Structure formats: structure tokens, C-alpha cells
Structure 1
């Protein structure tokens, strides 16, 4: 890597040079996109245009993390980018061209080239207004945080860090290149990005950034639900979602994203003692992630959402009874409805909305299991009702145990082990996930000598209940049971 030149955007921004290891990482980053650095970088340079790797790939290289995206910035306007990449790129797409971005593919490499720009939101607009620039420092100052405002010029590999991003990277601090008030005004979503990066990278917010986020949180109301959702998803799939959620609540961001979460901080007095539902929910989230990892699963958005939201129905269902007792009757039903409404408002896919709300509705079902008193039919129903969500329900139910009473926790753990064992045994014996009655609809019609209609459905459901209650019956016994049922319910 050539000698690196540095510039500082402010007198108090520390100017630091990369360590030898970080220089090697930057060189490796440039090498990993040599097709771009030598090919495209050479094309742009020959035509008098600038081109640089920027943002996340540079930050991740300095952190020793794999870079998944290739983001480039240039002084060439979008139409000029299209002219320069013609004949070089294998394919080009222009979905983001109105925002100055051209997408390219070269062999197996996918990248985006964006014109130097400054974008900002008018006070009530949900869409940014884009203006193009001609200087990389003017572009970098508009970036969200200093750790994302570093660049590597191509093809020469010069490292550009005008705002002390490397120093902040080493300190683990999120700071904005300019005033945070200007940055958050330009794009309020950066408030969410701040807490997301805190969870993702384990960084803290600079005091002025935290203060501006708190003061300007209301600006998130002009950002589209889809953009809010995308940041929330990245936060929840990060290594430490709890850190991000806590920041959202502390800074007053949560009311504009997940308003149900801060409402979990129920007031507890000396006469009405119950768990802090907010702290409990965060602990359940932590424990679900721990179980997710120990069972060898990838980060699971549905599970993490369900863990976070499983008790959001409690504030609405809280009731005080005698002797200081507090109840939350049917909070799982209310919570499922609230989860569906909130996730729909955030434009989550229908399957995610359905799966999360189903897990919230089911999360208390296990607590009727006691010491294993459930019959095999009850265990079958439990598994059938969970369906493909069964493994997630196992994890959520286990994670929901946050008691400090070691004896009680151990007893619950044994019960969880027992029901999972019984479900596994029943599944092996009966292929539980494909349970069907012993007779199908055509056989029911033939035996009862009836045509298609609601009576066939009623008979089918009756046989399914018998199947769940008794296990496999065989066609002869099922036929006899069907005729007995028909004699009582279909007479005349």
C-alpha cells in the first residue's frame, strides 16, 4: 500500500495512521477487489474521474471483519458512470440512479457506485433531496458516522480519513463527521443506525451523538416504515440486540419504532410485587439467543422478535387482586394481537407477522404441563398447534424462565426436557408433523354414503380428534367410530 496521506476535518479530531496490521487489511481489501481497483479504477483515472472504496467495507477491513459489500464513490455523475462502465461491467442496473447510485456486476462481484453527494430531508418529507458534489471530503462529511467516513482511493490505494474515523474506530465510539444535529436532520434514520451500530459493533455513542438522538427522536416519524423496519432487523440480528433496544428506550427512540417496549416498564410498588416486565423481556431475548447459538442455529429474526414481544400484552391486562397479587390474564392472546398489529405497521412480511404472533400466543401453553401430567393426546395437540414453529417454541419457552430460584428453574428445565423427549418419541412413532385421520374425505363419503359438504368436514375433524387422542386406530376401528358418530350427529 502506498504512503498514506491524512487530512483532518477539525482541529480536535485525532489524526492516526493505521497499524501495520490495518495497512495489511486495507491492502487485502484492495487486492480482494483487484478487478475493480485495477480495471474500473484505471478506467476512471484515465478519464480524469475519481473512484474510491468507501464506508462499510473500509471500516470492516480495519476491524478485521470480512467485507460483504463493495461500495464505491466517485465524482462522476450517474450518466457519466454509465458511460465509463459500458463494456466493462457484465451487467448494469439503475434502480437507485435517482439517488446517484448505479449497480454493477463483474464476474462474481457485485458493487454499487455512487456519485459524491449530499442528501437531506425537508422537515416533512419522507424522501431525501439529492445534490451531487465534486470533492470526496464534502461527500464524507455527509456520511452518518466517522467510522463510515473513511475511504481508499483507487487504483492507488490511498487511505482517506479526514474526520478521525480511525481514532474513533480504535476507541469504539460512534461520532458524526459534522454536528450530529445536522447529520440527523439530513437523514433521521441515522438515529436508528446509531443504536444499530452500537449493537452490531459493540460501540458506544459519543455524548453529543446521544444527546442529539434524544432531542431529535421525533424526526423518525417522517421516515418510511420500511426503512425503520430494515434497521430494526439488522439490530435484532446483531450480536447484542439488547444493547440496541436499551439505547432505543433510554434515548426515547422506541416510541417511534416499538412503542410497546418502554410500556413494559411497569411501576412496581411495595404492595403489588411482580417482575419488571421490561427487564424480564430483555433477559428472555438474551437467553433465547444463547439457546439459539447452543443449538447450532443461525440468528433467527422470528425467534428474537417473539422473545422481545412475548409479554407486550401485560400492561393492558394487568389487574390487582387481594394480598398484593397481580395478574395478567390472557396477556398472551392480547400480546399476539398487538404483535400482529405492530409488525404489520412496520411492513414486515406476512409470514414473519404470522409466525411471531403465533409464538406469542403459544408461549404460555407449556405451563399447563406441570410435572408431566399431560396425556399423549395433549402432547400431540401441543406439537400440532406449534407445527413448523415447534423448535422455536421450545427455545422461547425455555428462555421465558428467568426465576432466580434454582430449585424452581431446575424443575422447569426437567419438565422442558421431558416434553421434548415425549414429542420426539411420538414424532418418531407417528410422524407427528404429518398427522392425518385414519380415513380421508373420499372414504368418509363412501362409508356414510354422502356427497361433498359440511358434514364431511365435521366427520373429518371428529376423526382427527380421535387420532390425536388415541394415536393410530386403523381403518376398521376408525370406520366403526365414524359410523357411531354419524348415528348420533347425522341422524335423519
Structure 2
């Protein structure tokens, strides 16, 4: 196994230090798996017969940095020459099978350490003294055949730590593996055990799953085994609904196709910088409002009016429950809310005002909205699909043209808040914000205005509300006048 690792001074140096101290050191787990796949990274996992205090002594003076945040679990971290090393004493843990937290027990053999690991492809080690592969559970063969299985029985493995069921779906996505039949059987029978896991850990696995190379495969495993009923119940709920625009597939299948196409559009983007979790969440969840808005219409049709509004609310509720960040939650919800608006564009009937509103409402999410809308065009009718894509091409061209003329990326009223206060003699308060919003709506409707025109419009707005306005020429600075501010002086505008 001498060719498993390329020449690596960090690995060789560390192995030599442990050998000199009479200890064995092994590269283990995901690091061995990735090395066999030809993609060993800079984060390296090791296991050893040395106890945590001995590991600390061995890496002191050698590593550039050392941390002991995991020492209670037998893990010492070290950084050396751009590599991050986690070195863990052999483990032989016992689980109470109520929580997922083990009673930490240190082991004495590499074989005992490997059998407790989650999957056979992660249950291999390399003895760094001999460069020999240790593979008691057929991990290399499983890697070659792309099969995901467990070292012990899957029932034992998942009872010890139910999070491993989500990890199985995540590895299906990341590594494009196929789960062993017994793994699927155990996941199906034990899916409710996932309720032992905290929302934060569930969220982390779902995020990694969606950012894999085959997120559809991971989602399908969650749904087929019943795990999704406990972590993303809105997704399997879509299997029962027929989309009025796509009679050939239910909403669930349609959503998986949209997810696939969003991934393809990401990869085709010349500015692609890696998987986009927000876009992928929006693609998967964009139609989750349909089950709650389904209505039968005369003639045997089905409608889902305002499913984008209901869906956005459902997205917020689910992502908050999974402890996603406020930023991710709001971005996904807004994309879901906006994804259907393009279908009112027809063959280009929108006014420039409607185009401005589309861009302004999307804000910095516009590039993602472009991808989501294009991914959502999933009809089997190639002529119709081509027409939809050409229509969206036309919308993007209009956006670019108007943006070039009007700086659409930063649509603001033609008069700012300070100028509003000066012109109307207002102090900071709700009326300033109301005036600002009026001018912004005017800007969206008519495009950029000359200053005099904007001032006259502001004065007209103020007069309709009984505010006293200056009589000076709008092009000259106006003296503040006392106005009725409705008791809102102390509120922010």
C-alpha cells in the first residue's frame, strides 16, 4: 500500500514521532477513503494507541498550533505546514441508545476502533509504519462498487447513533453511491429514531446533502425510507399532488427535476464558485405550498392559487425549525415567493415599470432567481420549453437594457430622506418613511425623474395629506415649515 499516500512530510514526520515513542499511528476513516479516491485533502484523521495526554506531549514542539477542545473524547488537534491533523485514541464506545452521546471508552486495537465506525468505506486504516491497508470490513471493495454499507449490522449502527441514517443519505449525494439493501431496510424501520437528534445536527447533514454532486439521490433516499417525514415532511407531502402545468409528473417529481436543473445551471455559470445552498433549497422547496392550496376546478382541472405565498411562509417555518440562519431562511423564502412572478410576463407584455419591480423585489437574489425560474421550466414539450427559455432570455435582455440606463441595482427615490425632511420641514418620524416609499414607487413606475418633477410630486403627496408645504421654487432650498406630524416625532423614519 506504499502508493496510497503521495510523499507527505507532515504524515511521515508525525508517524516517526509516534514510532520513536513506541506508539502506532494510523491514517483512518474519511482520509483513507479520499486517498483511495485520489482526492486526499489537507484535513487528515489519525488514530493511535497513545492516550490523549501522550498525544499532547508528542505534538507539542512539532505542530504550529495545538488545540485540545476534543480531548474529553480522545481527540487532539494540530496544525502543521498547512495541514490540519486530528489524532484520536482508539475508541471502544458504548451507547445508551436514548441519546446519541456515547460513553467514551478508549480501546486497545485498531480492529476494535474500526468496527464502531459508521460505514465500511470509512472503516479502513493505513498503518503508517508499514504503509499497509487495514480493511477488515471490505471497505475497499465497497468503494470500488460504490455501495454504502455498515461494518456492524445497520440496526446496531443506527441504534447507536441515528444521525448515521442522515449521513447515509448525505454520502449518497456526495459520493454518488448506492445504499446496500439492508441499509435501506434498517433506515425504513428505524426512521423515527432520528427524532433523538438535535435540529442543528439534522440541519448540518441536510445542508451537506444538498451541496453534494447528486442531491436528488440523497433526497430520494430520505423520502423512500420515511426519514423525510420527520425532518422535511413538506417534501414527501408533494408526492400526492398533480401540477396543473405538468400533468405527466407529480409535484414531488417536478421539484426533483427543478433541483437537478438548478445544479446544472450552477455548473454552467462562468462565475461558478461552488454549490449554492440557497438556490438548491429554493429549487427543492419552491412548490411546497401546493398541497395546502390545491383546488379542483370545473372540467377536472386543478389549481394552486397563491401557492408561492403559502410556500414562502412554510419555508420560513421549516427552516427556522431546522435552525438555519436568518439570512438563509429569508433568502430561500423570498425566492419561493418570487419564483412564479415570471409566468405573468406572457410574451413580453410587462411594462418597464413591472420589470423594475421584478428587479427591485429580487434585489441581490436576482442571479439566483434567474436560475430558479429557468430550472422551473420542466415541460416535456420541447417547443414549449424552448419558447419559455427564449421569453426569459428576452426578459433578461430588457433588465440589462433598463439597468444600463437607470442603475437598477440601486433603485432609490430621486430625493433622499434628508432632503424630504428639509423640503417638508419634517423631523425624523413615520411620515418621512411614508414620503420616501411614495417617491420610490414613483421611481419604479416612471423611471428616473428630474429633480423639479420629483419635488413637485412630493409636494402634491404632502398636500393630499394636509401637510403645509413651502411656496419656494423647488429648485431652491426651502425653509422648514411647521407641520402636523401626527405625534410621530420620536419614531425612526
Aligned partner of 1:98 in structure 2 is: 72
Question: Structure 1 residues 392-401 or 206-215, which shifts more?
Answer: 206-215
Paired with 1:75 and 1:291, the residues of 2 have a C-alpha distance of: 48
CA distance in 2, matches of 1:474, 1:267: 52
Q: Secondary structure at the match of 1:131?
A: coil
Taking the aligned partners of 2:312 and 2:11, their CA distance within structure 1 comes to 49
Alignment of 1:148-159 (within 5 A): 148-159=122-133
C-alpha offsets along residues 288-329 of structure 1, whole Å, 9 cap, x if unaligned? 111111113221000000000001111111111211121111
Q: Which residue among 209, 225, 228 is the counterpart of 2:183? A: 209
1:304-383 equivalences under 5 Å are: 304-383=280-359
1:35 corresponding residue in structure 2:
10
1:27: Cα distance to partner? 3.1
SS state at 1:72 partner: strand
Say if 2:42 and 2:83, in contact at 8 Å, map to a contact too.
no
* C-alpha distance in structure 2 between counterparts of 1:404 and 1:274, whole Å: 8
* Paired residues of 2:97 and 2:160 also in contact (CA < 8 A): no
* Cα distance change of structure 1 residues 430 and 451 upon mapping to structure 2, 3 Å threshold: same
TM-score (norm 2): 0.91
SS in structure 2 opposite 1:84?
helix
How far 1:209 sits from its partner (Å)?
Answer: 1.6
Q: Is the 8 A contact 2:242 2:251 kept in 1?
A: no
Q: State the SS of the aligned residue for 2:43.
A: coil
Q: Give 1:245 deviation, angstroms.
A: 0.7
1:275 Cα shift?
A: 4.3
- Say which SS state the counterpart of residue 5 (structure 2) adopts: helix
> Which residue of structure 2 aligns with residue 128 of structure 1?
102
Alignment RMSD: 1.9
Q: Return the alpha-carbon distance in structure 2 between the equivalents of residues 440 and 84 of structure 1.
A: 64
Superposition pairs of residues 225-304 of structure 1, within 5 angstroms? 225-266=199-240, 275-296=249-270, 297=272, 298-304=274-280
Q: Distance in 1 between matches of 2:170 and 2:255?
A: 19
Which residue does the alignment assign to 2:483? Answer: none
Measure how far apart 1:274 and its partner are.
7.5
| Structure 2 residue aligned with 1:85 | 59
Deviations 1:242-273 (A, max 9, x none): 0111111111111122111111111669xx96
Q: Which residue of 2 aligns with 1:114?
A: 88
Q: What do the CA deviations read for 1:318-364 (whole angstroms, capped 9, x no partner)?
A: 11121112111111111111111111111111111111111111111
**CA contact 1:120–1:187 (8 Å) conserved in 2:** no
Q: TM-score normalized by structure 1?
A: 0.91
- The change in CA–CA distance for 1:104 and 1:44 in structure 2 (over 3 A counts) is same
Contact 2:124–2:135 under 8 Å retained in 1 = yes
Partners of 1:120 and 1:185 within 8 A in 2? no
1:64 positional shift: 2.0
Aligned partners of 1:273 and 1:237: how far apart in 2?
A: 29
Query: Is the 2:146–2:178 Cα contact (8 Å) retained in structure 1?
Result: yes
In structure 1, the partner of 2:476 is none
Q: How does 1:421-432 map to 2 (within 5 A)?
A: 421-432=397-408
Counterpart-to-counterpart distance in 1, 2:296 and 2:343: 22
Instruction: Give the stretch that moved more between structures: 298-307 or 455-464.
Output: 455-464
Runs of 4+ in 1 over 6 A off after TM superposition: none
Q: 1:273 to 1:205 in 2, by over 3 A?
A: closer
Identify unmatched segments of 5+ residues in structure 2: 469-493
SS at match of 1:323: coil
Equivalent position of 1:16 in the other structure: none
User: Among residues 24, 27, 30, which one is paired with 1:53 in the alignment?
Assistant: 27
Q: Which has the higher contact order (CA 8 A, sep 6+)?
A: 1
Q: Residues 70 and 113 from structure 1, CA distance in 2 versus in 1: closer, same or farther, beyond 3 angstroms?
A: same
Question: Does residue 38 of structure 2 align to residue 64 of structure 1?
Answer: yes
Structure 1 unaligned regions, length at least 5: 3-23
1:158-183 Cα offsets, whole Å, 9 max, x none, are 22111111111111111211211111
Contact 1:51 1:75 in 2 (8 A): yes
Q: Is the 8 A contact 1:291 1:395 kept in 2?
A: yes
The structure-2 alpha-carbon separation of the partners of 1:165 and 1:273, relative to structure 1 and needing over 3 Å to count, comes to closer
Q: Which residue of structure 2 lines up, in the alignment, with residue 21 of structure 1?
A: none
How many angstroms apart in 2 are the aligned matches of 1:354 and 1:110? 34
Residues 227-253 of structure 1: CA distance to partner in whole angstroms, max 9, x if unpaired?
211111111111111011111111111
Q: Flag the 1:116–1:195 CA change in 2: closer, same or farther, 3 A.
A: same
2:454 is the counterpart of 1:487: no
| Compared CA separation, residues 301 and 275, structure 1 to 2 (3 A) | same
The separation in 2 between residues aligned to 1:218 and 1:119, in whole angstroms, is: 23
**Is 1:435 matched up with 2:411?**
yes
Whether the aligned pair in 2 keeps the contact of 1:273 and 1:324 (CA below 8 Å) is: no
SS at match of 2:127: strand
